[in-house]
Structure 1
Amino acid sequence: MTDYKTISGGVTAPNGFQAAGIVAGLKASHQPDLSLIYSESSAIAAGVFTTSQVRAACVDYCRQQLEKQASAQAILCNSGQANAATGQQGWDDAVETAQLLAQTLKIDPTSVLLASTGVIGQRMAMPEFRAGIPPLVEALSETGGNAAAQAILTTDLVTKTIALETTFDDRPVRIGGMAKGSGMIHPNMATMLAFVTCDAAVSTSLWQEMVQRAAQRSFNQITVDGDTSTNDCLLALANGQSRTPAITEPGEKAEKLEAMLTAVCQHLAKAIARDGEGATCLIEVEVTGAPDETAAQQVAKTIAGSSLVKSAIFGRDPNWGRIAAAAGRAGVPFEQENLQVKLGNFLLLKDGQPVEFDRAAASDYLQQAAKGTYLEADTVTITVDLGSGEGSGKAWGCDLSYDYVRINAEYTT
């Protein structure tokens, strides 16, 4: 049973946070393209970033800032240009945007973190960016979470936001989040931007550890197409404005806060996978009976990322052989005679051997999970038991449709 509840507001639900999103002219589509999250006081900051050797200027900028100081007050994000593979000029552009925002907000430039998303190899449209910062700051409000979430989208079909609340010492503590991502999704990290706000008071080291573990159990467990990008980042701010006692060491309160943080990240991660380019359903893979959690996660990711599994789901084909084959190549040892595979409530494989099942009904189960049928209940569940230990883990993905190829074939044309 969870010890938190869902509330409205997204990233502005926690106390002391404002947000904004505007049309600055960075996108040819004239859709919202400049986003800002602002904490009224300095916040503890943590980040997790792409492991790619080809990185956007904003990723290196944030890494550099967080190595100097684990605090920040603002997150500035643009969509339209990735500012990746843009050389020294791209770096200079990133630094300039941080300085311009800091001047407008009247805060130190070291308190600004940056994120960008869009086409790789394109510098940010600096004249529009410069002109957009003053109206962006002017638009800041305690109800600006949805506008901020809209302004970070690229090929996404929907915004992705969440806010949860719990209590510490009879006082509310809140965590809010927003994310974008639809294609080029694969660990480690999955291609996406995610921003989390929290009004708890927590020590720097604990917050970074919590954020890293939450990312490992959420964003690093989703896959759409096997591609990792250049701009991936998760940035998380905790400003202490709940006025609850500071959490400075591991224990019950730290575990409670981390559980809520993980729930926020998993909600956003699943929303990204659900919105995969051309996808018609979300796929949730749960693996049990593994040697440990890491092994279970590895097998789950391999199944969720299998092009053959994803294609079978799109074709409404309950092909358990593809699931078993993906589990077998995941690099985790187990005895195949112990393997069990379920699709929804349909048992397909037991003790390493196929069992009789209603193939037409199983295919209908996959059909019913297609987008728009059950609204939020659009999830295909695959459960695999390796029979080799106590470890368990989950991963999320989506089916692979004809539209994925079309969307990406025409991405820059």
Structure 2
Amino acid sequence: MITTKKEKVKIKSDGHVTSPKGYKAGGVHCGIRKKRLDFGWIHSEVPATAAGVYTLNTFQAAPLKVTKESLEKEMKIQSVIVNSGNANSCTGEQGLKDALEMQKLAAEKFAVQKDYVAVASTGIIGVPLEMEKIKKGIAAINDGLNEDPVNFEEAILTTDTVTKQVAVELEIDGKLITIGGAAKGSGMIHPNMATMLAFITTDAAVEAESLQSALRQTTNQSFNMITVDGDSSTNDMVLLMANGKQDNIPLHEAHPEWNVFLEGLQIVSEHLAKQIARDGEGATKLLEVTVKGAPTDIAARQVAKAVISSNLVKTAVYGADPNWGRIVCAVGYSEQPIDPDKVSVAIGDIAVVKNGLALPFNEDDAKQYMQNEYVQLTVELNNGLHEATAWGCDLTYDYVRINASYRT
């Protein structure tokens, strides 16, 4: 385990979405994709208080609508089913019927209330689901052979090259609380409320409204601070389940250790978000942009997003080109209150701009630094006390290759 800076939360070296007490998960190949696992599930022993955030894309896919409606009614989830390879998006009335049938069949398989089942899909847009294959996947739930969180993590992937998972442990009121998570995301990733699929579980008991508030707060500081290509998907969401299996006194904002729970949730969300950014389609590097000295939190976040989203910055990072002009250009079009004469920029530890003017620096050293797999840029606005960090990746030739042949 790795102890965090506050020594209240410990990251489990082998953590998964099933690390919290009372959860199991699995995945199978049901035939939507040619070879890879393509149908997964998570199940809690008991109904879990749940929260969700969703893409802001106007074209919201059928499974997202079904899940959102059920969660708003009950604020509980006990089971999650996910298919990859087909997004069931822009599929009209039939797509909605298929998503509802998925929910109904899964509820029967798990023997739970229908509205306690969350449905998610990811993959090609505009193609009807092959429901016979979905039924095959649902039939395989709980057969014992496929219950493995790694199978779940693999089953939800599309163009991802690696699975994404993490878990942490923290102590609250003498109870050992665990928070685990799994995610997918590689393309169509942009900071606009949960543009990916992420599933977070905890065995803590948490009051429903506080859980939703916690998820929104941490999402704004993690999943909403990453970008790969500037495209927001039609399907994607973050779901958080709290099943209370540790029998703690239910947590809420007034609880004296609420911030410990928030820290744990933030660490899980941030780790998953950074894994998504690093695994961007065709990416070779993880890019981190930190903005300091902003007049407001919103300004700090918007400036960081502007820099991380700039294709010119991303290509410069790919080419290890310390072209700081692209960075200040992105800062300038962030539509936030910026005083150009106060802005400073650093590439790693190398200062390249101070008070809006170029500094002499060793370009070879900067190029050498930018060849690392983890590149940090720092922008100091010198106009306040707020700061924010965003994550992204470089833009490579492979991104074009992957997306030019996505359907073929």
* TM-score, normalization by structure 1: 0.95
Q: How does 1:358-397 map to 2 (within 5 A)?
A: 358-367=362-371, 369=372, 378-397=373-392
The offset of 1:232, in angstroms, is 1.1
Aligned equivalents of 1:64, 1:350: Cα separation in 2: 51
- AA aligned to 2:395 is L
Q: Quote the residue 2:166 is aligned against.
A: 162
Residue 111 (structure 2) aligned to one of 106, 113, 118:
106
Cα deviation, 1:221-242, whole Å, max 9, x if unaligned, reads 1011111110110011000011
Cα deviation, 1:107-145, whole Å, max 9, x if unaligned, reads 11111001100000112221011122121232488x721
Q: Quote the residue 2:276 is aligned against.
A: 272
Cα deviation, 1:26-82, whole Å, max 9, x if unaligned, reads 11x221001100000010010000101111101111111112110010011000100
Q: How does 1:10-409 map to 2 (within 5 A)?
A: 10-27=16-33, 29-139=34-144, 144-367=148-371, 369=372, 378-409=373-404
Q: How many residues align?
A: 402
- AA aligned to 2:17 is V
Query: Structure 2: any 5+ residue segments left out of the alignment?
Result: none
The offset of 1:246, in angstroms, is 1.3
Aligned equivalents of 1:139, 1:412: Cα separation in 2: 33
Equivalent residues of 1:20, 1:139 under 8 A apart? no
The offset of 1:153, in angstroms, is 0.3
Higher mean Cα deviation, 328-337 or 155-164?
Answer: 328-337
- AA aligned to 1:112 is V
- AA aligned to 2:203 is D
- Name segments (4+ residues, structure 1) moved above 6 Å: none
SS at match of 2:140: helix
SS at match of 1:258: helix
Equivalent residues of 1:86, 1:123 under 8 A apart? yes
SS at match of 1:263: helix
The offset of 1:147, in angstroms, is 1.2
Aligned equivalents of 2:370, 2:64: Cα separation in 1: 39
Cα deviation, 1:184-212, whole Å, max 9, x if unaligned, reads 11120253100000111110000000001
Equivalent residues of 2:84, 2:123 under 8 A apart? yes
Aligned equivalents of 2:406, 2:139: Cα separation in 1: 31
Q: Quote the residue 1:375 is aligned against.
A: none
- AA aligned to 2:128 is R
Cα deviation, 1:265-313, whole Å, max 9, x if unaligned, reads 1100000000001111000000000012111010000000000000111
- AA aligned to 1:400 is L
SS at match of 1:206: helix
SS at match of 1:381: strand
Equivalent residues of 1:179, 1:192 under 8 A apart? yes
Residue 4 (structure 1) aligned to one of 6, 9, 13:
9
In structure 2, relative to structure 1, the CA distance for the partners of 1:285 and 1:216 (3 Å cut) is same
Equivalent residues of 2:64, 2:119 under 8 A apart? yes
Equivalent residues of 1:175, 1:260 under 8 A apart? yes
Equivalent residues of 1:274, 1:398 under 8 A apart? yes
- AA aligned to 1:282 is L
Equivalent residues of 2:71, 2:115 under 8 A apart? no
- AA aligned to 1:291 is P
Equivalent residues of 1:334, 1:387 under 8 A apart? no
- AA aligned to 1:281 is K
Aligned equivalents of 1:224, 1:55: Cα separation in 2: 20
Equivalent residues of 1:83, 1:90 under 8 A apart? yes
Aligned equivalents of 1:171, 1:209: Cα separation in 2: 22
Percent of pairs identical after alignment?
45
Aligned equivalents of 1:238, 1:50: Cα separation in 2: 22
Equivalent residues of 2:189, 2:195 under 8 A apart? yes
Equivalent residues of 2:292, 2:388 under 8 A apart? yes
SS at match of 1:127: helix
Equivalent residues of 2:40, 2:156 under 8 A apart? yes
SS at match of 2:17: helix
